[in-house]
Amino acid sequence: MRRAVRLEVAKFFSTRMWWVLLVLMAGYMAFLAGGMGFAFTATPQDAGIDASDPLATARAVYAVGTTLGYVFPAIIGTLAVTGDLRHRTIVPTLLADPSRTRLLVAKHLGALPVGLAYGLVGSLAAVGAGAALIALGGGDPMLDSPDVWRTVALSTVALTLWTLVGVGVGSVLSNQVAALVALLAFTQFVEPIARMGLTAGLGDAGGRVAAFLPGAAGDALAEGSIYSLMSPGSLLTWWQGALVLLGYAAVLTVAGRLTTFRRDLG
Amino acid sequence: MTASSAPPRTPARLSVRGLTKHFGTVRAVEDLTFDVSPGHVTGFLGPNGAGKTTTLRMLVGLTTPTAGTATIGGVRYTELTDPARTIGVALEASTFHPGRSARAHLQMFAPAAGADAARVEQLLALVGLTGDAHRRVGGYSTGMRQRLALATALLGDPDILVLDEPTNGLDPAGIAWLRSFMRGFADSGRTVLVSSHILSEVQHSVDDVVIVAHGRLVHASPLAALAALAVRTVTVDSPDRAALTDLVTRRGWASEPAGAGAPGALRLLHVRAAEIGAAAFAAGVELHLLTEDAPGLEDVFLRLTGQTTGVAA
């Protein structure tokens, strides 16, 4: 098992993809957090935010990774599985260790350090740019508040868990293009619409269902994201959010083990 | 190749029993049974689509058989405790990420095979990739990928080597090198199973042949026994073709048109040139062509696998 995990970690760090995506994510998170930080503090009335609560504002800005940036760790997790199939490195991998269950477990364990890197970089980029632009907009970055750092830490955990959800997606959708299209369509389009639609169309019941969508679970885990600012009380607690994300990762991976990974491979 | 520092291992026999694989209505492999003996190079031969790769994939557990078993020393691949040290496998060329260098690829798989960095460098040198080891595999030729696949298969210093069409994309020097490498590997008491769709590319290095066509076994024997199946033929022609035909009929020799190579000439089967010459001389038939054709293994191979030679037609 140790060898299998070591192989999966080596796969991440021996091509350029991991740092290309990481740099993209850092840039995107810095841009979004900076933009939000400045808009919330310089023109709060336009942003629809209650600027009298600098803590809520700061947390919403610093948690932008879990609100909008989670697609990056999800992609790198997906690629860990689909890339193996696409480039047929699954062949030497399974020749070295034929257990497919062990392979999927190793992919999750191997994705953890990568996910942690994405979580740290994504969260810290948001804090760095967000704090600077909040200050520039005349607000308080609240960097001395433990609650802010709690959100940063939880946001890091959420992004790490999103890598595991990505591994699950990749094990179900073995075609790399299909998996990435599905991932982008779901996270950028389907889920945001479903979250609003369920709440708007079905009221409280819909909102309770929407809270179990993976993006909502990630928001819940980070505590104090922009969503919870806009519709308070609509999210799960942080640990429930973590369990829901883990649940998605587990269910998708088991489904992948019973479909893609039961077939002839390579 | 250096000998392994591990305790002596008994080279295992590869054993395929009733192996069958159906893809929907396609019978890729049908009731295939054969053995591969330690200390031998066994050629696994057949035309494209004969089921060779499917068989090898079932041997290593990538493909699940519809029926039958393939075992290594009596154990299925998926149940081997240390597969990389038991059997090294190079399936068709590209099982590499194009963005990884050859060195990075080998270093990545080395720990899983119990190999260290020195072993990686040793293998790069063995297959002649040291100078290109830092380059990304995406820019490699087919031959270089074949070499890298071989190096990957050898990481665990295995007792058995399984190579799927390893000569594809190799230049003549590379093929010659591979032949002597396989020979040396088998001479050290280890086992090689090498597939090819061209007999002549492996016939100088194999001891045994297993020939398949349409997923079925058509022949399995030592190479020498295959040569015995070759039909001896003599191409003969005369300015007086009627007299020649008459002579052939009287002698009861089997004949067929020699074809495009010698228009109008006859190819006589199962008879020596000396016998034909003597008979023609005795009958007063003038000959201006009397050639004993070397029995070609390739012809035997093509005949066994149901492929037409184009010449014998």
DSSP helix, strand, coil percent of chain A (3-state; round to 5):
80, 0, 20
Q: Which long-range contacts (CB under 8 A, 24 or more apart) does B137-140 make?
A: B137/B96, B137/B97, B137/B98, B137/B99, B137/B100, B137/B101, B137/B102, B137/B105, B138/B98, B138/B99, B140/B102
- Say which amino acid occupies B132: D
The answer to whether A113 and A203 have CB atoms below 8 angstroms apart is no
Q: Which DSSP string do the residues of A66-124 spell out, in sequence order?
A: IIIITHHHHHHHHHHHHHHHHTTTHHHHHHH---HHHHHHHHHHHHHHHHHHHHHHHHH
**A85/B101 Cα distance (integer angstroms):** 18
Contact between B62 and A94 using a beta-carbon 8 Å cutoff: yes
Quote the pLDDT of residue B22.
Answer: 94
Contact between B77 and A98 using a beta-carbon 8 Å cutoff: yes
Quote the pLDDT of residue A41.
Answer: 85
**SS3 assignment, position B183:** helix
Strand partners, B34: B16
DSSP state of A187: I
Residue of A nearest to B158 (CA): A96
**B contacts of A96 (beta carbons < 8 Å):** 83-84, 109, 112-113
Looking at B12-61, list the stretches that DSSP marks H as alpha helix, in order from N- to C-terminal side: 52-59
The answer to whether B44 and B54 have CB atoms below 8 angstroms apart is no
**A28/B101 Cα distance (integer angstroms):** 30
DSSP state of B260: T
Quote the pLDDT of residue B190.
Answer: 93
- Residue B84 to chain A, least CA–CA distance (Å): 6
Tokens 């089997």 sit on residue:
B254
Q: Considering only residues A8 and B302, tell me which one the structure prediction assigns the higher pLDDT.
A: A8
CA distances from B183 to A114, B41, B170, B285 (A): 45, 7, 17, 50
**A contacts of B100 (beta carbons < 8 Å):** 14-15
Using a CB–CB cutoff of 8 Å, tell me whether A265 touches chain B: yes
Q: Between the CA atoms of B232, B238, B241 and B244, what dihedral angle is there, to the nearest 10 degrees? A: -50
CA distances from B233 to B267, B269, B271, B296 (A): 6, 5, 7, 10
Q: Which tokens sit at B190?
A: 């280890």
Q: Domain extents for chain A? A: 2-262
Name the average pLDDT for chain A: 90
> What stretch of H or E contains A2?
helix A2-13
Nearest to B83 among A11, A88, A95 (CB): A95
Contact between B84 and A11 using a beta-carbon 8 Å cutoff: no
Quote the pLDDT of residue B312.
Answer: 39
Task: Please report which confidence band the pLDDT of residue A117 belongs to, taking 50, 70 and 90 as the band edges.
Answer: very high
B132-185: pLDDT as tens digits:
999 999 999 999 999 999 999 999 999 999 999 998 888 999 999 999 999 999
Residue of B nearest to A18 (CA): B99
Contact between A98 and B83 using a beta-carbon 8 Å cutoff: yes
Query: Which domains are assigned to chain B?
Result: 14-223 (3.40.50.300), 233-294 (no CATH)
Looking at chain B, list the stretches that DSSP marks H as alpha helix, in order from N- to C-terminal side: 52-59, 83-86, 102-109, 117-126, 142-154, 172-187, 199-202, 223-227, 241-251, 273-283, 297-304
Using a CB–CB cutoff of 8 Å, tell me whether A110 touches chain B: no
**A contacts of B89 (beta carbons < 8 Å):** 95
Which residue numbers in chain B have pLDDT < 50? 1-8, 309-313
Name the average pLDDT for chain B: 88
**SS3 assignment, position B69:** strand
Contact between B95 and A96 using a beta-carbon 8 Å cutoff: no
Tokens 């298969």 sit on residue:
B153
**A73/A71 Cα distance (integer angstroms):** 6
Q: Considering only residues A246 and A233, tell me which one the structure prediction assigns the higher pLDDT.
A: A246
Residue of A nearest to B150 (CA): A92
**B226/B188 Cα distance (integer angstroms):** 25
CA distances from A28 to A44, A160, B244, B275 (A): 22, 17, 89, 88
Contact between B98 and A87 using a beta-carbon 8 Å cutoff: yes
Contact between B84 and A95 using a beta-carbon 8 Å cutoff: yes
The answer to whether A29 and A122 have CB atoms below 8 angstroms apart is yes
Region of B256 on the Ramachandran plot (φ > 0 left; ψ -120 to 50 alpha; else beta): beta
Quote the pLDDT of residue B313.
Answer: 32
Contact between A264 and B63 using a beta-carbon 8 Å cutoff: yes
Using a CB–CB cutoff of 8 Å, tell me whether A89 touches chain B: yes
**A75/A258 Cα distance (integer angstroms):** 22
The answer to whether A153 and A222 have CB atoms below 8 angstroms apart is no
- Residue A183 to chain B, least CA–CA distance (Å): 22
DSSP state of B190: -
Quote the pLDDT of residue B64.
Answer: 94
**A contacts of B152 (beta carbons < 8 Å):** 92
Quote the pLDDT of residue B232.
Answer: 78
